[in-house]
Copies of this chain bind each other. A is one copy, B any other.
Amino acid sequence: MKLLLKIMYNGRDFMGYQYQPDVRTVQGSLTSAVSSCFGRDMKITGCSRTDAGVHALGFCCTAEPAGEHPDDWLRIPVGKVHRALSRFLPEDIAVAGECEVPDDFHPRYSVVSKEYIYRMYDTVAADPFLTGRAWHLKHPVTEEGLCRMNEAASCLIGYRDFTSFMASGSKIEDARRTVESLSVVREGRELMLRVRADGFLYNMVRIITGTLADCARGTMDPGDMVRILEKRDRCAAGKTAPADGLYLNDVTYDREISWKLD
């Protein structure tokens, strides 16, 4: 069996999720903490990668001993691992759920859909408490601008070829994905973009966000979305929004996960 962990992290001080030697990464920090906690070398496998500065509220990863090990390696009751682990985790990573999964479970291949949130705000002055956590839009978003964002968003919902919304240089051959939901809602001074899809291309949420922000400002038209999709060209879409407004919010798997946190 493997241990499936749902984790939160503040991406500010990480050079992204994926392990790299000599730099601080989420995977590296998690691997050290989990290995110390269980007193053996552990292997951490994540549901995806996130870039430097990107945050997570519901990132999922499995933890299992590296190399040969007995099946009953997990000596801490499921639901209480987070308590043992909290002593080893840095302040910017926390466990939000835990569950036992069988060996055939793969945290990436068993994913059915993922949800990202992108936070923006549009006050005149930058907010020192939102720095690194939300994108400061220099142009206030009017009611009409918000409508334009959602009109553009609606064109991107469904099974589409998202080549235009993929970082140029990506080696992905098939850029067709199903966006299940995509909307922008005002919450006080913040604008929250929420998008769920069966898969995401590299920079896809950030390019969608940048394009919708252009629609809000009026420098792009919601009516152009279909044409942008058809062009299958990154240059057709808007700019890439900064990394630090992006949060991996939720991962849905091909089976029910009974998260525990005692």
Contact = CB atoms under 8 A, between A and B. Distances in A.
Interface of A: 8-10, 55, 82-83, 86, 91-96, 124-129, 131-133, 261
Contacts of A127: 8, 94
A9 B126 CA distance: 11
A91 B125 contact: no
| Interface SS, A side | loop
B91 A131 contact: yes
A131 B132 CA distance: 14
A49 B161 CA distance: 57
Most buried by B among A10, A124, A128, A261: A128
Contacts of A82: 124-125
User: Copies of this chain, how many?
Assistant: 2
A86 B128 CA distance: 12
A125 B10 contact: no
A4 B124 CA distance: 19
B92 A131 contact: yes
Given A10-B129, A55-B129, A83-B124, 12 more contacts: A8-B127, A8-B128, A8-B129, A10-B128, A10-B131, A86-B125, A91-B126, A91-B132, A92-B128, A94-B126, A95-B125, A124-B261
A159 to B, nearest CB: 34
A171 to B, nearest CB: 32
Nearest to A89: B126
Contacts of A128: 8-10, 91-94
B8 A94 contact: no
Most buried by B among A8, A10, A91, A125: A125
Nearest to A9: B128
A261 B261 CA distance: 46
